[in-house]
């Protein structure tokens, strides 16, 4: 969702903010802006619809050297995509003490109510955003400050009016510090070791390479970032307060784990492709990690879990990973398991009890719906566990137990490696919950999966050729049965999000109950033919074929009868992979989606309308 970067310090603030915003491009955005303070303290605003390049163009020829700047990449929620609705928002009051600018990530749920109240008090609004109400609220509270009160008090007072999950950073003409505040939205800050650069952002990645120790303020904590130009060498450059203005320890500290040098695309044209190719190595290192004493320690708690039921909640790809993990929990642990879309879970008054376990799956650990589901489970007294990639994320911090998927940073908006590692971590979790030790057989199966994926990647041209043949059809059905059904759903999601074509994942046997009406020679069926329910799957394919649908089979190697009924065929060696084989199939789906999108010429790493981490409900 929206990306925030703020800088105060001795260096070039705008350059640092632009670099941070560039790093946050992967999260998805539709406009970008910066506000910087010039030597005479005036606040200068530049913001543009579209890519960061548009903003940079607008800054050409502008003297933007500054020691204080805030910047933003916007993913529109309230108000259409245009320059005016882009952030930062800057007050146009003539009273210099009230001249402030703000950036915002999240949704102000009571924006209309506040806007109406403030209009009645003479405030006017330039944009259609919910964010601008916070700007006006802070202005009003600055106006009402007593002489001895500092601007941070105004920010605290203004924030108390805000409902919903939001993070803001405020910059003021009349005060040197940046003031940040948050509830339910990610925020992180830190300073360089020499204290010259002080940064705040919505994502630790923006701080990588500059800040080693990260501070994550808790909800309702206000963070004040002082410029090293303005404080003495012993004074803190970052301070934390509660909403009453008292100093607080309401923050977590963590070492920066992201190394910028490992995050370039290298020889790959897109991050998505790079991340697909990383999978064999990551599977091997996940296995090594969980076989090591540190990994065993992480799994230890899971061995104590004896829940009556497990409730998995997640969104998108992570939800499909949850469907895969459900099959492990039910077959290995013999525990009933339900998988819910996090956006629906809390609104259906779920029947959950404090004897159950709430399991949350998320790459980012910042998905608002998943966090809300977690909160509900906590309120109802459930023990919680998370399968998560980003250590230190909100989900991670709020879970009673965590299992890290160790995927490294995932930059492609379309999740690939995270899915594979989520499902594998779920496999390890179900093993531990069943009270089993990690055995050689399971370890070897992980290694076999890594090897098979490597072999498939080496034969990528075969998939590329199929992609070239089929990328221009009208619609696509991904079908699978049993344990391959989640792979069908995930395959269709991948294609939709990066190739912008209609695709649906279906249980193969369900097509004849309705969607088969859509089948004709312009529809492609990507049919997963697993070793189980084999004959029934082939009959389902025949039904599509009889209606002239084009068939791409992904099925057993050396199987001529399967190959014969398909127009195109991706042979896979399923032997020995057992319950892990859907992940092998899924890599074929990832490659197919990637190359179809490439033939279509879409923006694969930053698909339109999408955000990497969905921090609004």
> Which residues bind to ligand AGP, rule: CB under 6 A?
315-318, 362-364, 367, 370, 413-415, 497, 610, 613-614
The CA distance from 280 to 447, in Å, is 8
User: Which residue from 445, 455, 453 is spatially nearest to 328, judged by alpha carbons?
Assistant: 445
Residue nearest to ligand AGP (CB): 316
Beta pairing partners, 189: 200, 215
The minimum distance between CB 547 and ligand AGP, in angstroms, equals 30
Q: Yes or no: say if 582 and 483 are a contact pair by the CB < 8 Å rule.
A: yes
The minimum distance between CB 538 and ligand AGP, in angstroms, equals 30
C-beta of 189 vs 413, nearer to ligand AGP: 413
Q: Is 164 exposed, middle or buried (0-12, 13-18, 19+ CB in 10 A)?
A: middle
C-beta of 111 vs 492, nearer to ligand AGP: 492
The CA distance from 509 to 484, in Å, is 12
The CA distance from 96 to 380, in Å, is 49
Annotated catalytic residue within 182, 326, 417, 612: 612
Q: Rounded to the nearest 5 degrees, what angle is found at the Cα of 194, between the Cα atoms of 189 and 200?
A: 15
Annotated catalytic residue within 2, 35, 337, 377: 2
Q: Yes or no: say if 555 and 539 are a contact pair by the CB < 8 Å rule.
A: no
7, two tokens: 């800088």
C-beta of 421 vs 550, nearer to ligand AGP: 421
* Residue 459, number of CB atoms within 10 A of its CB: 13
The minimum distance between CB 256 and ligand AGP, in angstroms, equals 20
Helical pair 581-600 and 485-499, crossing angle rounded to 10 deg: 20
The minimum distance between CB 388 and ligand AGP, in angstroms, equals 8
Ramachandran region of residue 352, left (φ > 0), alpha (ψ -120 to 50) or beta? beta
User: Which residue from 400, 449, 456, 397 is spatially nearest to 427, judged by alpha carbons?
Assistant: 449
C-beta of 26 vs 328, nearer to ligand AGP: 26
Q: Transcribe 214-282 into DSSP letters.
A: EEEEPTTEEEEE--TTTS-TTS-SEEEEETTS-B---EEEEE----GGGGS-TT-SSHHHHHHHTHHHH
C-beta of 206 vs 614, nearer to ligand AGP: 614
2 is catalytic: yes
Place of tokens 């496999």: 427
The minimum distance between CB 589 and ligand AGP, in angstroms, equals 12
C-beta of 367 vs 581, nearer to ligand AGP: 367
The minimum distance between CB 194 and ligand AGP, in angstroms, equals 34
User: Which residue from 306, 323, 311 is spatially nearest to 348, judged by alpha carbons?
Assistant: 311
C-beta of 5 vs 414, nearer to ligand AGP: 414
C-beta of 17 vs 413, nearer to ligand AGP: 413
C-beta of 14 vs 616, nearer to ligand AGP: 616
The minimum distance between CB 497 and ligand AGP, in angstroms, equals 6
Please list, in sequence order, all residues whose beta carbon lies within 8 angstroms of the beta carbon of residue 246, skipping any fewer than 6 positions away. none
Ramachandran region of residue 79, left (φ > 0), alpha (ψ -120 to 50) or beta? left
The minimum distance between CB 368 and ligand AGP, in angstroms, equals 9
C-beta of 43 vs 339, nearer to ligand AGP: 339
315 is catalytic: no
Q: Yes or no: say if 174 and 37 are a contact pair by the CB < 8 Å rule.
A: no
The minimum distance between CB 29 and ligand AGP, in angstroms, equals 14
The CA distance from 111 to 94, in Å, is 24
Please list, in sequence order, all residues whose beta carbon lies within 8 angstroms of the beta carbon of residue 1, skipping any fewer than 6 positions away. 27, 28, 75, 105, 106, 202, 611, 613, 614, 615, 616
Q: Rounded to the nearest 5 degrees, what angle is found at the Cα of 19, between the Cα atoms of 14 and 24?
A: 120
The minimum distance between CB 319 and ligand AGP, in angstroms, equals 7
Active site positions, annotated: 2, 612
């Amino acid at each position: 969702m929206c990306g925030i970067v703020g800088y105060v310090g001795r260096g070039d603030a705008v350059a640092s903010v632009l670099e941070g915003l560039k790093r946050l491009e992967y999260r998805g955005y539709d406009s970008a802006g910066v506000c910087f303070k010039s030597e005479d303290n005036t606040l200068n605003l530049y913001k543009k619809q579209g890519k960061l390049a548009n903003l940079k163009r607008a800054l050409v020829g502008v003297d933007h050297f500054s020691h204080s700047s805030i910047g933003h990449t916007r993913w529109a929620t309230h108000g259409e995509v245009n320059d005016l609705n882009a952030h930062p928002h800057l007050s146009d009051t003539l009273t210099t003490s009230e001249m402030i600018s703000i950036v915002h990530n999240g949704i102000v749920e009571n924006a209309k109510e506040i806007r109406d109240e403030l209009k009645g008090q003479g405030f006017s609004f330039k944009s259609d955003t919910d964010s601008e109400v916070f700007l006006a609220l802070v202005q009003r509270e600055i106006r009402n400050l007593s002489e001895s009160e500092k601007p941070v008090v105004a920010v605290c007072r203004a924030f108390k009016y805000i409902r919903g999950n939001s993070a803001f950073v405020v910059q003021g003409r009349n005060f040197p510090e940046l003031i940040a505040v948050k509830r339910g939205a990610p925020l992180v800050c830190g300073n360089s070791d020499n204290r010259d650069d002080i940064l705040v952002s919505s994502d630790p990645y923006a701080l990588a390479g500059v800040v080693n120790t990260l501070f994550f303020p808790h909800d309702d904590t206000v963070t004040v970032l002082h410029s090293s130009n303005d404080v003495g060498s012993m004074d803190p450059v970052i301070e934390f307060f509660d909403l009453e203005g008292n100093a607080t320890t309401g923050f977590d500290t963590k070492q920066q784990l992201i190394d910028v040098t490992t995050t370039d695309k290298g020889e790959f044209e897109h991050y998505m492709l790079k991340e697909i190719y990383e999978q064999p190595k990551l599977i091997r290192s996940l296995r090594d990690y969980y076989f090591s004493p540190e990994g065993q320690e992480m799994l230890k708690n899971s061995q104590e879990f004896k829940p009556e039921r497990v409730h998995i909640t997640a969104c998108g790809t992570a939800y499909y990973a949850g469907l895969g993990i459900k099959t492990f929990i039910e077959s290995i642990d013999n525990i009933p398991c339900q998988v819910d879309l996090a956006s629906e879970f809390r609104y259906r008054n779920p029947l959950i009890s404090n004897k159950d376990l709430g399991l949350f799956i998320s790459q980012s650990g910042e998905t608002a719906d998943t966090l809300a589901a977690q909160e509900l489970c906590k309120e109802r007294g459930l023990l919680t566990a998370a399968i998560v990639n980003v250590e230190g994320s909100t989900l991670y911090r709020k879970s009673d137990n965590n299992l890290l998927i160790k995927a490294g940073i995932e930059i492609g908006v379309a999740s690939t490696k995270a899915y594979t590692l989520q499902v594998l971590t779920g496999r390890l979790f179900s093993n531990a919950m069943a009270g089993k030790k990690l055995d050689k057989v399971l370890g070897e199966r992980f290694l076999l999966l890594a090897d098979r994926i490597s072999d498939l990647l080496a034969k990528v041209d075969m998939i590329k050729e199929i992609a070239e043949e089929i990328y221009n059809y009208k619609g696509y059905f991904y079908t699978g049965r049993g344990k391959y059904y989640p792979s069908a759903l995930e395959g269709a999601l991948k294609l939709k999000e990066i190739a912008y074509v209609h695709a649906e994942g279906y249980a193969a046997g369900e097509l004849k109950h309705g969607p088969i009406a859509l089948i004709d020679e312009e529809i492609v069926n990507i049919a997963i033919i697993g070793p189980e329910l084999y004959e029934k799957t082939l009959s389902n394919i025949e039904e599509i074929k009889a209606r002239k649908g084009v068939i791409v089979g992904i099925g057993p190697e050396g199987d001529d009868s399967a190959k014969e009924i398909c127009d195109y065929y991706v042979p896979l060696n399923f032997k020995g992979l057992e319950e892990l084989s859907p992940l092998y199939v899924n890599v074929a789906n990832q490659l197919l989606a990637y190359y179809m999108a490439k033939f279509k010429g879409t923006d694969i790493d930053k698909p339109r309308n999408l955000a990497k981490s969905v921090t609004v409900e």
